[in-house]
């Protein structure tokens, strides 16, 4: 009877390892879920490629990235908004910039539009931003792979 | 007694390998999952200033913009490309025409710096053709270096 109790106690001590393993696996799982990539690079957007698209040497100060999908919706931070409903979101962004003492005219709008998006929709997006006082725009493209013809 | 201690120490060492291998595999899986090829991206500046009615007078010293007209079918495929009234075959042809107009002079105060391009596109045109046109007018790559041509690019109102 006494011997049996002692054996049971040893088994309980030995069972710690799978639990620690499981804990590490959970830690690894949550680490994988962390998005290390920049938030403004959505994988749904397939940018058009250009041989002149080189990364900028100096970082832009005040930017707002608008990602236009081929289904005419705009990815703004974590929201996916149809273009017709974008105005309140942009107005909120403008107010937020003003709270930080940044005028919309000093903010650069980075447009990451899908290669299959309609040009007219891109222009509508620019017009909407113009109405809200934004003046600087850049169109983003990915760098063309070497050896690939345009 | 001595033998027994050595044997038990050896067994402990063997047992200690298991968690370490676990961790190594976990790290391997971790790096495999987070490995992502991110292609470098670049920007093209476009000039879309606010059109204030009081400041609507065009600058006399400025050259009239070169107009590039791109037409598209309902699917958004490019069906026609013109520089002014001059029809062009493709974007390489457009690039050659631009080089002919602005020449090799690309420094400050040059024709390339003064000239402005206006893109007039059909509404349904796929955006990738716009980037191709901008690439054709804004520069070229020679020996790995980018030679900038026209950088003042703007959009005209879209045609339906």
Q: Which residues 6+ apart lie within 8 Å of A147 measured at CB? A: none
* Segments of B38-121 assigned E as strands: 41-47, 66-72, 78-83, 86-87, 116-121
Kind plus residue range of the DSSP H or E element containing A33: helix A16-33
Q: A36-49, pLDDT tens digit by residue?
A: 555 567 778 888 98
- CA–CA gap between residue B1 and residue A56 (Å, rounded): 71
CA distance B19 to B31: 18
Alpha helices by DSSP H, A34-135: 87-99, 119-131
Whether residue B49 has pLDDT greater than 80 = no
Closest chain B residue by Cα to residue A48: B128
**For residue B121, which residues of chain A lie inside 8 Å, CB to CB?**
119-120, 123
Measure CA of the first residue to CA of the last residue in chain A; give whole Å: 83
State the pLDDT confidence band at B55, using cuts at 50, 70 and 90: very low
A32-78 pLDDT, tens digit each: 766 555 556 777 888 898 888 877 777 777 888 889 998 989 988 77
Residue of B nearest to A54 (CA): B42
Nearest to A130 among B43, B50, B76 (CB): B50
Q: How confident is the model at residue B98 (pLDDT cuts 50, 70, 90)?
A: confident
Tell whether the model's pLDDT for residue A7 goes beyond 70: no
The conformation of residue A118, written as its DSSP 8-state character, comes to B
Which of B23, B44, B125 lies nearest to residue A139, judging by beta carbons? Answer: B44
Strands of the sheet containing B86-87, edge to edge, are B86-87, B78-83, B66-72, B116-121, B152-155
Structure tokens at B84: 């002014």
- Residue B110 to residue B102: CA distance in whole angstroms: 8
Q: Which residue has the higher pLDDT, B134 or B36?
A: B134
**Confidence at residue B102, expressed as pLDDT on a 0 to 100 scale:** 80
ipTM of the prediction = 0.73
The residue count of chain B comes to 160
Contact predicate A53/A150, CB 8 Å? no
Residue pointed to by tokens 């093209």: B44
Q: Does B160 contact A120 at a Cβ distance shorter than 8 Å?
A: yes
What is the separation, in whole angstroms, between the first and last Cα of chain B?
94
């Amino acid at each position: 009877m006494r011997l049996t109790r002692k054996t049971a106690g040893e088994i309980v001590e030995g069972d710690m390892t799978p639990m620690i393993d499981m804990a590490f696996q959970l830690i690894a799982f949550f680490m994988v879920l962390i998005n290390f990539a920049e938030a403004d690079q959505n994988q749904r957007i397939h940018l058009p490629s250009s041989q002149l698209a080189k990364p900028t040497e100096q970082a832009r100060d005040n930017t707002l990235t608008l990602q236009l999908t081929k289904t005419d919706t705009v990815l703004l931070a974590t929201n996916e908004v149809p273009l017709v409903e974008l105005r309140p979101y942009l107005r909120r962004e403008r107010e937020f910039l003003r709270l930080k003492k940044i005028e919309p005219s000093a903010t650069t709008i980075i447009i990451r539009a899908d290669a299959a998006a309609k040009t007219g929709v891109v222009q509508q997006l620019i017009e909407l931003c113009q109405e809200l006082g934004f003046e600087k725009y850049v169109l983003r493209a990915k760098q063309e792979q070497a050896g690939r013809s345009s | 007694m001595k033998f027994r201690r050595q044997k038990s120490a050896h067994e402990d060492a063997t047992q200690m390998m298991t968690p370490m291998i676990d961790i190594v595999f976990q790290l391997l899986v971790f790096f495999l999952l987070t490995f992502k090829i991110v292609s470098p991206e670049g920007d093209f500046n476009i000039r879309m200033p606010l059109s204030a009615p009081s400041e609507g007078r065009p600058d006399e010293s400025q050259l009239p913009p070169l107009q590039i007209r791109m037409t598209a079918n309902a699917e958004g495929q490019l069906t026609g490309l013109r520089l002014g009234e001059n029809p062009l075959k493709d974007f390489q042809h457009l690039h050659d025409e631009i080089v002919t107009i602005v020449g090799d002079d690309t420094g400050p105060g040059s024709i390339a710096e003064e000239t402005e391009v206006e893109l007039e596109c059909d509404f349904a045109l796929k955006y990738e053709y716009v980037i191709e046109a901008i690439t054709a007018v804004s520069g070229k790559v020679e020996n790995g270096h980018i030679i900038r041509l026209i950088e003042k690019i703007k959009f005209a109102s879209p045609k339906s």
